[in-house]
Structure 1
Amino acid sequence: MRNVQNEMQVASIVTGDLPAGEQLYFYWRFNSRGAAGKNIGGDPTLKPPEDNRRYKSPENSAAQNETMKLHRFSPVHVGVVLDLSTPLGKISNTSISMAMDDFYDIHDNYTTKLVLHTKDCQEDFVKAVAAATGLLGTSQVQAIIGPQKSEQAKFMSELVKKTQVPIISFSATSPSFTSISNPYFIRTTLNDSAQVAAIAAIIKAFGWRQAIPISDDTDYGRDILPYLFDALQQTGTHIPYHCLISLQATKDQIMEELFKLQTMQTRVFIIHMRVSVASRLLLLAKEAGMMDEGFVWIMTDGLTNLAESLSSSIIDSLQGAIDDTPAEMNNFALLAYDTVWALAIAAEKASVGKSDFITPYRDTKLPILESLEVSKNGPKLVEEILKCRFEGVTGKFKLINGQLQSSTFQIVNMVGTRERNLGFWDPKTGLSEQSKPKNGKTYSTLMTDLNQVVWPGESGSVPKGWDIPVSRKKLKILVPKSSFPEFVKVEKNASSNNTEVSGFSIEVFEAAVRNLPYALPLEYFAFESASGQNAGTYDDLIMQVYNHNGMSCHDPARILYLTRRELKLDGRIKSV
């Protein structure tokens, strides 16, 4: 394995499918054995030539049959569907090529070898479907790696379900479709819903009562919401609003949504978006002052996985944000690498070197499937993929219910250009500073079980989670003059013409308001006549409260009366 180390290191790789001089950066983490672990039959002492610096693009699959020694290997044709114009598509393409080189350098005794047919769907749903149909029909591939997006994977998984060709995605994270409903869809990454309990635990730990999810208006953005809502509600967290941002949203439309959020009291936001939308949103949020002290931003691991592709200006806007990410590495490009290894191992064990397809019954209601045949090798290949166990570059590779699993999540804090470790969460012990807490530790949702957080605005104080909205709608309170000014004193400020109140009763009331889990701005009005005396009896005051006397018809604010022990509500006198 190239440049094997015990810790993470940066490997700069120049790829043939990129412009001259352009480099991609990988963050690799290996254990002491590297990916050539003993448990997958590799020789831990075997290393490929150190001078192999450039890699072939896997899209040149047509020439692979010519160059590989077919008398030694039986070809296993595999489709690869990527968005090659995106940073993730480019780096995953390179990662897949590296995985091929590394695997067969080590396993040169294998009788099968993957032959890759790479298709660029250019971030287009229709082209992704066309690519899959061509791979299944014309190329008769025995498996497909990809696609990148959940929307693409959802439809393609229906195609492979009919043809019994496994599709293996390392980045389609939507929980709306799984191997349970389609045994030929395999996910070599985490399901988005795996992280929602960790997010709910973080919110509960800091005592925030409300949170607003912000997601893009796609299957990826929407599909996590039922699971997130359920997890938050189980911890008593209220969701007053859900913000959806279109992929095609303009700057003005995003700013309009941000202003709407500013008019609300909640200051805790959970962001689950694609990088393309999140990048614009975060920069505009900073411009709007929503990355300052008092705000809380929690990012899901999908955005964290692509942090390397974010510009320095976006990283700067994320200062103080909290991320949750699997304790074992969940970088999509590295997962693509492990996916190739798993498929190569499974292909060998299933002995699927010879393609074997049969013509199914024609379903005239589904003309797109008329030309597609059914793979007889598919069930065997799926079985072997699900049985794969090895130590990959992302950690232990083990699929449960057709997808990668991680019970422990690391909680990190964005400070400067790096992520500070705050602690960990797992379903048995909750929050802890250690990844493996001591035996006997009870479940915790205490913020004291996490390291100190540096919040937005470089603040060390835990945000309240709410604030006075920008619109500053106020609760209007009518206050009569009292014979006991030490309890309630009402004065008129000559310069500002505002009513000023003070006294013990006022202090008690305002202390109670400050203890509410949301902002409640107040505005006092004196119940007095032109002569400066009370404008009537207590009953007159109650009627003014009841009738909103003196209020303009467009102002729905409620008026409370402090010193009387009775309020007239809904036409009745009730004791308070």
Structure 2
Amino acid sequence: MRVGEAQNTATDVNVGIVNDVGMSYSNMTLRCINMSLTDFYSSHPKARTRLVTTIVDSKKDVVIAAAAETFRGIDFVTALELIKNKEVQEILGPWTSMQAQFMIEIRQKSQVPIVSYSATSPFLASIRSPYFFRATYDDSSQVLAIKAIIKLFGWREVAPVYVDNTFGEGIMPHLTNALQEINVRIPYRTVISPNATDDEISVELLRMMTMPTRVFVVHIVELLASRFFAKAKEIGLMKQGYVWILTNAITDVLSIMNEKEIETMQGVLGVKTYVPRSEELDTFKSRWKKRFPISDLSVYGLWAYDATTALALAIEEAGTSNLTFVKTGAMRNMSELQGLRVSQYGPKLLQTLSRVRFKGLAGDFQFIKGELQPSAFEIVNVNGHSGRTIGFWMKEHDATSVPKGWEVPTNGKRLQIGVPIKNNFQQFVKLTRDPITNSSIFSGFCIDYFEAVIQAMPYDVSYDFIPFEGGDYDTLIYQVYLGVRDFNHLLFSSLYNLHSSIVETMSLLFMFGAEI
């Protein structure tokens, strides 16, 4: 299968595309690549080079993306064969960070550059391959935005939720460091297998419910996210009081998710890649809707378009000399890479790619140390059928209070606050009875003071006032000591004579047992 076949006498330059053919996101990016090539050569009719593409179907498999393999009885042209047999000078892709990790070393040995518009794991940068270019944003670039949100609302504990692979793990060191800078504690982490069943997801969610932390940062892929949040809603973790912060792994693809998937995420907060408005972008979106009326577009499609434009520009600048591969002595001694040759064109293409700079559909395009640099992120609230950009954070569109981010677990005991009742000085503590339900109603300065302290705390505390009548303070304290009274705290009001003509009232809050 070929995209952008040459139609003139320009020199063909072979380029490979590694993608998960047949998936909705893959179809979208392949269409964008095709449109990019068409647009580029329409605007450059005298171009000396012409990209001719061959598509590798990785079928979402890491090994198949990197080496020769037979998948379900069907022989596919693989990434290794692209170099050995097709002699491609450049590879666009692969889609996932796991696939890219396996491919980078082989491409470096063959001196064939890789430009990925979707592999976002920071781990890939640690490989330090000059032949790997990231035409998207490193996941670590968004942790400062996440940190700012958490700092703004004063949440003191955050529990990360991420998928158990290179993609999920890559962001964690950066997120951990960012939260440590603002003294935010990570009490535990929830790691979800990429192949987790619904039952396995439910087990993890139930475990999260028993923990006091109510602020979660979620870094998982779209297909897993839709099932994860469906179960979270079913179990009861999507109600008010819980805080969910999504990374752009999910928010950037909200536009291509279906209504049922988005419905499970209503009210959550997210960090999203900012794409500046431009006339070129508006025109492209209009063309897209006319050409593919039932297919949605995400920022990954824009990055695929821009990456293809960058590659066409770089190849045009590199020219057509030395489009050859040679076998080196070092390669002859490596049985696993038998037959793999080294591109003589790669080093020159490496230089021209590093110099490419233009205004793309997704914003300014320039590789700095092999990566694009983000200028900003949007903060979105999932509301309705998409993520609505907001100038301030709120849990739900009609929320009137900020969730505390911490509370006593649903299976935990409510705090029992013992309140000694005296008929004197009722302006400090007063007990009345509801005439209908006969329930206790507490009022007075000490009650107001206690509740004001609770409201000022950065986490929720569930409690009940329990009246203690007919005894003095010493008796009550001794009963707590003996275990007769199961009070966590005692609320006292006492009078002290500081002067014969002056009486000063003091409210003392004594705490026993669990800390608030």
Among 398, 401, 406, the alignment partner of 1:461 is 401
Determine helix, strand or coil for the equivalent of 1:213.
strand
Pair 1:249–1:332, CA change in 2 (3 A): same
The whole-number CA distance in structure 1 between the counterparts of 2:207 and 2:441 is 31
Residue 10 of structure 1 corresponds to which residue in structure 2? none
Say which structure is richer in helix.
2
| Mapping of residues 157-176 of structure 1, within 5 Å | 157-176=104-123
Task: Confirm whether residue 287 of structure 1 aligns to residue 255 of structure 2.
Answer: no
Residue 372 of structure 1 corresponds to which residue in structure 2? 340
Residue 429 of structure 1 corresponds to which residue in structure 2? none
Task: Confirm whether residue 254 of structure 1 aligns to residue 194 of structure 2.
Answer: no
The whole-number CA distance in structure 1 between the counterparts of 2:430 and 2:382 is 48
| Mapping of residues 85-100 of structure 1, within 5 Å | 85-100=22-37
* Contact kept in structure 2, 1:542 and 1:568, CA below 8 Å: no
How far is 1:233 from its partner?
A: 2.4
Residue 181 of structure 1 corresponds to which residue in structure 2? 128
The whole-number CA distance in structure 2 between the counterparts of 1:484 and 1:368 is 90
* Contact kept in structure 1, 2:488 and 2:512, CA below 8 Å: no
Pair 1:566–1:110, CA change in 2 (3 A): closer
Letter in 1 for 2:14: H
Tell me the alpha carbon deviations over residues 371-398 of structure 1, each in whole angstroms, 9 at most, x when there is no partner: 3222222111011011011222222211
* Contact kept in structure 2, 1:214 and 1:270, CA below 8 Å: yes
The whole-number CA distance in structure 1 between the counterparts of 2:84 and 2:484 is 76
The whole-number CA distance in structure 2 between the counterparts of 1:228 and 1:497 is 51
Among 156, 164, 181, the alignment partner of 1:209 is 156
The whole-number CA distance in structure 2 between the counterparts of 1:519 and 1:76 is 63
Residue 80 of structure 1 corresponds to which residue in structure 2? 17
The whole-number CA distance in structure 2 between the counterparts of 1:475 and 1:568 is 11
How far is 1:420 from its partner?
A: 3.2
How far is 1:103 from its partner?
A: 1.5
Pair 1:209–1:155, CA change in 2 (3 A): same
Letter in 1 for 2:46: N
| Mapping of residues 132-147 of structure 1, within 5 Å | 132-147=79-94
Task: Confirm whether residue 415 of structure 1 aligns to residue 357 of structure 2.
Answer: no
The whole-number CA distance in structure 2 between the counterparts of 1:489 and 1:364 is 91
How far is 1:77 from its partner?
A: 1.2
Identity among equivalent pairs (%): 37
Residue 108 of structure 1 corresponds to which residue in structure 2? 45
Residue 173 of structure 2 corresponds to which residue in structure 1? 226
TM-score relative to the length of structure 2:
0.80
How far is 1:175 from its partner?
A: 0.8
Determine helix, strand or coil for the equivalent of 1:349.
helix
The whole-number CA distance in structure 2 between the counterparts of 1:539 and 1:458 is 45
Residue 374 of structure 2 corresponds to which residue in structure 1? 406
How far is 1:99 from its partner?
A: 1.6
Pair 1:80–1:489, CA change in 2 (3 A): same
How far is 1:145 from its partner?
A: 0.5
| Mapping of residues 462-501 of structure 1, within 5 Å | 462-476=402-416, 486=426
* Contact kept in structure 2, 1:283 and 1:313, CA below 8 Å: no
* Contact kept in structure 2, 1:75 and 1:354, CA below 8 Å: no
Tell me the alpha carbon deviations over residues 116-157 of structure 1, each in whole angstroms, 9 at most, x when there is no partner: 111101111121112221112222211111000001101111
Determine helix, strand or coil for the equivalent of 1:241.
coil
* Contact kept in structure 2, 1:195 and 1:409, CA below 8 Å: yes
Determine helix, strand or coil for the equivalent of 1:400.
coil
Structure 2 residue runs of 5 or longer lacking an equivalent are 68-77, 277-297, 495-507
How far is 1:343 from its partner?
A: 0.8
| Mapping of residues 444-455 of structure 1, within 5 Å | 450-451=391-392, 455=395
* Contact kept in structure 2, 1:413 and 1:419, CA below 8 Å: yes
* Contact kept in structure 1, 2:331 and 2:340, CA below 8 Å: no
Determine helix, strand or coil for the equivalent of 1:318.
coil
Among 60, 63, 66, the alignment partner of 2:2 is 60
Among 216, 221, 224, the alignment partner of 1:269 is 216
Task: Confirm whether residue 191 of structure 1 aligns to residue 133 of structure 2.
Answer: no
Determine helix, strand or coil for the equivalent of 1:270.
strand
Structure 1 residue runs of 5 or longer lacking an equivalent are 1-58, 423-449, 552-557, 571-576
Pair 1:468–1:366, CA change in 2 (3 A): farther
Letter in 2 for 1:412: V
Determine helix, strand or coil for the equivalent of 1:403.
coil
Determine helix, strand or coil for the equivalent of 1:144.
strand
* Contact kept in structure 2, 1:347 and 1:353, CA below 8 Å: no
How far is 1:525 from its partner?
A: 6.4
Letter in 2 for 1:248: N
Residue 361 of structure 2 corresponds to which residue in structure 1? 393
Residue 499 of structure 2 corresponds to which residue in structure 1? none
Pair 1:245–1:160, CA change in 2 (3 A): same
Pair 1:416–1:498, CA change in 2 (3 A): closer
The whole-number CA distance in structure 2 between the counterparts of 1:477 and 1:361 is 80
Letter in 1 for 2:406: W
Tell me the alpha carbon deviations over residues 281-318 of structure 1, each in whole angstroms, 9 at most, x when there is no partner: 12222333433333333222221221122111222233
How far is 1:184 from its partner?
A: 0.6
How far is 1:180 from its partner?
A: 7.5
* Contact kept in structure 1, 2:404 and 2:460, CA below 8 Å: no
Residue 522 of structure 1 corresponds to which residue in structure 2? 463
The whole-number CA distance in structure 2 between the counterparts of 1:541 and 1:179 is 62
Pair 1:462–1:512, CA change in 2 (3 A): closer
Among 508, 512, 532, the alignment partner of 2:449 is 508
Bigger mean CA deviation after superposition, 364-373 or 279-288: 364-373
Letter in 1 for 2:318: A
TM-score relative to the length of structure 1:
0.72
The whole-number CA distance in structure 1 between the counterparts of 2:353 and 2:397 is 47
Pair 1:534–1:142, CA change in 2 (3 A): same
Pair 1:364–1:409, CA change in 2 (3 A): same
Residue 27 of structure 1 corresponds to which residue in structure 2? none
* Contact kept in structure 2, 1:80 and 1:144, CA below 8 Å: yes
Pair 1:300–1:566, CA change in 2 (3 A): closer
Residue 119 of structure 1 corresponds to which residue in structure 2? 56
Bigger mean CA deviation after superposition, 112-121 or 360-369: 360-369
Letter in 2 for 1:91: M
* Contact kept in structure 2, 1:179 and 1:403, CA below 8 Å: no
* Contact kept in structure 2, 1:77 and 1:141, CA below 8 Å: yes
How far is 1:87 from its partner?
A: 1.2
Residue 236 of structure 1 corresponds to which residue in structure 2? 183
